[in-house]
Amino acid sequence: MENPLTPEVLADPVQLTRVLVDIESVSLNEKAIADFVEEVLRGVPHLSTHRHGNTVMARTDLGRSQRIVLAGHLDTVPLNNNFPSTMRGDLMYGCGTSDMKSGVAYALHLAVTLPEPRYDVTYFFYEAEEIESRYNGLNLVAQAFPEWLEADFAVLLEPTYGIVEAGCQGTMRSVVTTTGVRAHSARSWHGVNAIHAAAEVLQRLQAYEARRVTIDGCDYREGMNAVRIKGGVAGNVVPDRCEIEVNYRFAPDRTPAEAEAHLREVFAGFELTVTDTAPGALPGLDAAPAKEFLAAVGAAPIGKLGWTDVARFAAMGIPALNFGPGDPNLAHHPDEHVEISKIRDGAATLHRWLASA
């Protein structure tokens, strides 16, 4: 492969994607790819570049009236016999091709090739999105250097298969607990079986009708599912406790407090403990840059079914959208790949949006 820092590679988002994919960057091992991104950006005269840990930020300061952020995470899930990259016709295979080094390549390509965008642009490349929030580079920078993220609008370059996915769902994990009385299984009538009591919890989930809501023309379908169950003491003991873990994906018109209240309504009569929550993000389609971006894409947006870091931008008061070339259904898949044509089309869309007068 060519030297990664040649002008030919940096000018071609496809070649640049492959270079990025071939730098192994499993979560918490992003130093090499952060070093590469930093080296590229520090060589661009129209940018000022800063680094915090393995998160790299570069920005233009052209005095434009509005600023936008193009953001992408540098890390991937663990390798699964899919490194380094391979090419098969119009497809590039490899860990991170879809999620989300092809999106990262967009931002890096534009940072190098577009010296005078119509907005001031912050290019943000961050670490540890695929693991716990405490490691997430976007989260860490928001705490340490919030001014790095000040903007009027943001595009998170997550895989969306070339369409705009607006906002995102919130997510909440909780544990519903049933209790009973221990007894010898040979004399079970002396006890109360907590696992049997869980049947009512599961029946409520089975009968649950997920809410659908349309916000700014984008449809969001909620979901509530049992994802783990734990119970039992021994092979000859009637259990006195059973825990059912429930994951609730809620539309962004609900706050976490409202989502929790709904959970408690569904499981009234049972002990319920919320163990983790993240708010959703409203579509954010009213911002002027968002409208202009949608015009450049030329297709109606859809609601994001899932949680992404657009919610972190929303929490900072920055409307944000998801847009990238990869197929979200291939994220974390052993056959993860991206279509070359999607990379080229998306790069052209972003360039058209940012370069237009």
The residues annotated with a catalytic role in the active site are 75, 129
Residues 195, 223: contact at Cβ < 8 Å?
A: no
SS3 of residue 206 by DSSP? helix
Structure tokens at 317: 């008061």
Beta bridge partners of residue 68, listed in sequence order: 121, 153
3-state helix, strand, coil in the chain (%, to 5): 35, 30, 40
Distance CA 158, CA 304 (A): 11
Closest CA to 18 of 5, 4, 37, 32: 4
Distance CA 50, CA 84 (A): 29
Long-range contacts of 61-64 (CB under 8 A, 24+ apart): 61/120, 62/116, 62/117, 62/120, 63/120, 64/117, 64/118, 64/119, 64/120
CA-angle at 73, arms to 72 and 78, nearest 5°: 145
Peptide bond preceding 279 in cis form (omega within 30 of 0): no
Residues 212, 221: contact at Cβ < 8 Å?
A: yes
SS3 of residue 208 by DSSP? coil
Give me the phi and psi of 216, to 5 degrees please.
50, 40
Cβ neighbours for 119, distance < 8 A, ≥ 6 positions apart: 64, 66, 67, 68, 152, 289, 354
Distance CA 96, CA 332 (A): 8
Give me the phi and psi of 300, to 5 degrees please.
-70, 145
